[in-house]
Structure 1
Amino acid sequence: MSSGIRFDRVCVAYGRQTVLDALDLTVEPGEVMALLGPSGSGKTTALRAVAGFVRPASGRIFIGERDVTGLPPHQRGIGMVVQQYALFPHMRVQDNVAFGMKAQKVAKAEIPGRVAEALEMTGMASYAKRFPRELSGGQQQRVAIARALAIRPGVLLLDEPLSALDAQLRSGMLAELARLHRELPDVSILYVTHDQVEALTLADRIAVMDRARLQDCGTPQELYRTPRTEFTASFVGNANLLAVTVRGPGAVSFADAELKVHTGEVISGATATLCVRPHLVGLGDGPNAVTGKVAEVQWRGATHRLYVEVGGERVKADLRELRTPPALGDEVTLHFAPEDAVLLAGGVTDG
């Protein structure tokens, strides 16, 4: 049975410090929602409030139609996976996976079949009789996921589940989690991460958190292509955030250049921020051309990252297949299409 999650003006405070401020957010049944933000943004607190490990100072939490705000964790019908696996070292894999079902008093005759099902689903069926110490980090994380799935939760909470893995294992586990979601379309997943690649890869929607508050929420494509705030633009993907002045409908000035962009309702004379993704910036003449000097060149395998000083600001450009990249100090021209820029009201801010 599928269940969604709803935060209704949820506040969490430790003494006088507010760590989650009036969170209103709904995770639809069967949806993967990523909570994305830096350390201290409130994302893990929100997840722990759903789990029942943190009691809100105000507001309510619903799982499906049930108000679970005052319920203990074991009565909420959730599965949870944390970054350090939390497996019992003295128990074999099969006993670790069975643990949650025993706590829920599932019929003994039913447990072996559900253990086998969960281990098969996570690719760990052949490791059932091993101890955690005999497994790699990635394998231990699969067991932790199997344990969470074995109780057949309507809601699955994932708290930085891949942060302890190296890059190659993390990539493989991302693919596994995406596959699991396809096989379990009724399970709502709340996924806490500070890694934008994980959020963009897995989530149906991303809730961007900062300083205890929800800053933005939308599909990965929406937040990447048309961010609504500077924080979203800088935290979801990489972005040039350029201070510009609006000159009129469809026109802004940057450095000594006039650029054509969609200005929307931003009034003439206002300062604003122009967001352009580095991979959408080209080298050479073209629309919205600006000229500057190369300050830094980084080879990144498939691309070169150029940092070009333009009017006192650094513009980043990610360029493919540069057999002979410009040298430091060279004067170059960069350009971008008007439709590839997003104008954000307000000037560039620190942080």
Structure 2
Amino acid sequence: MNSGIRFDSVTVTYGGHDGHTALDALDLTVEPGEVMALLGPSGSGKTTALRAVAGFVRPASGRVFIGDRDVTALPPHRRGIGMVVQQYALFPHLRVDENVAFGLKAQKVPKADVPGRVADALELVGMGAYAKRYPRELSGGQQQRVAIARALAIRPGVLLLDEPLSALDAQLRSGMLAELARLHRELPDVSILYVTHDQVEALTLADRIAVMDRARLQDCGTPQELYRRPRTEFTASFVGNANLLPVAVGEGSVSLGGAELKVATDGVAAGAAATLCVRPHLVGLGPGPNALTGRVTEVQWRGATHRLFVEVGGQVVKADVRELRQPPLLGEEVVLHFAPEDGVLLAAGVRGG
């Protein structure tokens, strides 16, 4: 099955006509075989969007399509989707193979076909040797693999992942990210909608990222587009970490703390208020293009790097530089720099949506 997902102006409200709008006129398409991450803070609407696809909430207006089917009014079990949630939701009284078989039996798959489908799904997630164990005998990461196997056993065209790694520790999360990336390569026809508030997960797994805030879609693009050339201040701050510095705009340059900086000013008129976005790892220490002079207010050691906080013209600029044997002292005057192509100018206050 090769199915995409399409939100056609989907609005979800809670509490009746005058209630809370949890999702506001969402227009978004997940292409067949694509991994789309819904990224945003708590309450942004991302989980509501996923639940609308699953059939757990009914839109107040708009339509949801899976492939070319309008599934807005269909119950969850008729949508042909697999779903994995944060807390795994395994049945504690059933063995691993029985948990994975549950959805197949619900779909009335011929009894003779069930063992083979279960074995295939468990092998896909590396859990074939654990078929006869109970969930309580598994680690958190192993339980999550079983939950994914159960979702994949029904051979869905669409896989919904709702914060699937948030209950795992950092080391397990890293391993499961690699496993999910491998699964995507091995299941190229399955469309995946992945809800997360973790930017690393989104940047690692997604073909495209939809950035959500305040129930609305704020931005959408490839991870590289959103990270390197964000279109809004919200995207710049939520996808990766960024310096967002108010600047005065001139002709092909901006000024900050008395320094004139060369950056592309396309689309922002001279004299307009604007925000300069520069990623901390692209800010160097020492003389160079677009030099900024300021005083160190804080130094953080982060293992391979030092993060410097430098006050420039009343603004704090963050710089991530390779670990220094002798980092600058608090109050010391330093020079920072960044390449003109690494600065992105945003119209001040633009949040998207």
The equivalent of 2:141 in structure 1 is: 138
Q: In structure 1, what is the Cα distance between the partners aligned to 2:133 and 2:186?
A: 26
Q: 2:167 aligns with which of 119, 139, 164?
A: 164
Equivalent residue for 1:224, pick from 219, 222, 227: 227
What's 1:10 paired with?
A: 10
How far apart, in 2, do the equivalents of 1:108 and 1:303 lie?
Answer: 57
Q: Distance in 2 between matches of 1:69 and 1:147?
A: 24
Q: How does 1:294-309 map to 2 (within 5 A)?
A: 294-309=296-311
Take 1:336 and 1:261, find their aligned partners in 2: how far apart are those partners?
Answer: 10
What is the number of residues matched between the two proteins?
Answer: 348
After TM superposition, where is structure 1 displaced by more than 2 Å over at least 4 residues in a row?
none
| Offset, 1:312 | 1.0
Question: Which runs of 5 or more structure 2 residues have no equivalent in the other structure?
Answer: none
Q: Say which SS state the counterpart of residue 250 (structure 2) adopts.
A: strand
- 1:1-351 to structure 2, matched below 5 A, reads 1-15=1-15, 16-248=19-251, 250-347=252-349
How far apart are 1:321 and its partner, in Å? 3.1
CA distance in 2 between partners of 1:203 and 1:260 (Å): 33
The CA deviation at 1:346 is 1.6
Change (3 A) 1:25 1:54: same
Distance 1:309 1:246 in 2: 20
Amino acid aligned to 1:300: R
Distance 1:62 1:307, change over 3 A: same
Q: Distance in 1 between matches of 2:264 and 2:105?
A: 59
Alpha-carbon separation, structure 2, partners of 1:314 and 1:209: 27
Find the aligned partners of 2:273 and 2:241 in 1 and give their Cα distance: 22
> Is the 1:9–1:60 Cα contact (8 Å) retained in structure 2?
yes
**Structure 1 residue 274 displacement after superposition:** 0.4
TM (norm. structure 1) is: 0.98
Query: 1:148-170 CA distances to partner (integer Å, 9 max, x unpaired)?
Result: 00000000000000000000000
SS of corresponding position for 1:264: coil
Q: CA deviation at 1:347?
A: 4.9
TM-score normalised over the length of structure 2: 0.98
The structural deviation recorded for 1:348 is 8.5
User: Identity over aligned residues, as a percent?
Assistant: 84
Structure 1 unpaired stretches of 5+:
none
Q: Distance in 2 between matches of 1:265 and 1:233?
A: 17
The answer to whether the 8 Å contact 1:304/1:322 transfers is yes
- Take 2:328 and 2:25, find their aligned partners in 1: how far apart are those partners? 50
State the alpha-carbon separation in 1 of the partners of residues 102 and 36 from structure 2.
27
CA distance in 2, matches of 1:111, 1:302: 50
Between 1:252-261 and 1:74-83, the stretch displaced more is: 252-261
CA contact (8 A) 2:295 2:333 kept: yes
CA contact (8 A) 1:243 1:348 kept: no
Opposite residue 251 of structure 1, the aligned amino acid is S
CA RMSD of aligned residues (A): 0.8
Matching residue's letter, 1:210: D
Q: Find the residue that maps to 1:153 and give its secondary structure.
A: coil
Contact between 2:233 and 2:349, CA under 8 Å: does it hold in 1? no
How big is each residue's C-alpha offset from its partner over 1:98-120, in whole Å with a ceiling of 9 and x where there is no partner? 00000000000000000000000
Amino acid at match of 2:190: V
Aligned counterparts of 1:93 and 1:348: Cα–Cα separation in 2? 49
Residue aligned with 2:87, SS: coil
* Separation in structure 1 between the aligned mates of residue 72 and residue 315 of structure 2, nearest angstrom: 48
Tell me, in whole angstroms, the C-alpha distance in 1 between the residues paired with 2:348 and 2:132. 59
Instruction: Say whether the 8 Å CA contact 1:244–1:347 is kept in structure 2.
Output: no
Q: What per-residue deviation string (whole Å, max 9, x for no partner) do you get for residues 183-226 of structure 1?
A: 00000000000000000000000000000000000000000000
Secondary structure, in 3 states, of the residue corresponding to 2:274? strand
Q: CA deviation at 1:259?
A: 0.6
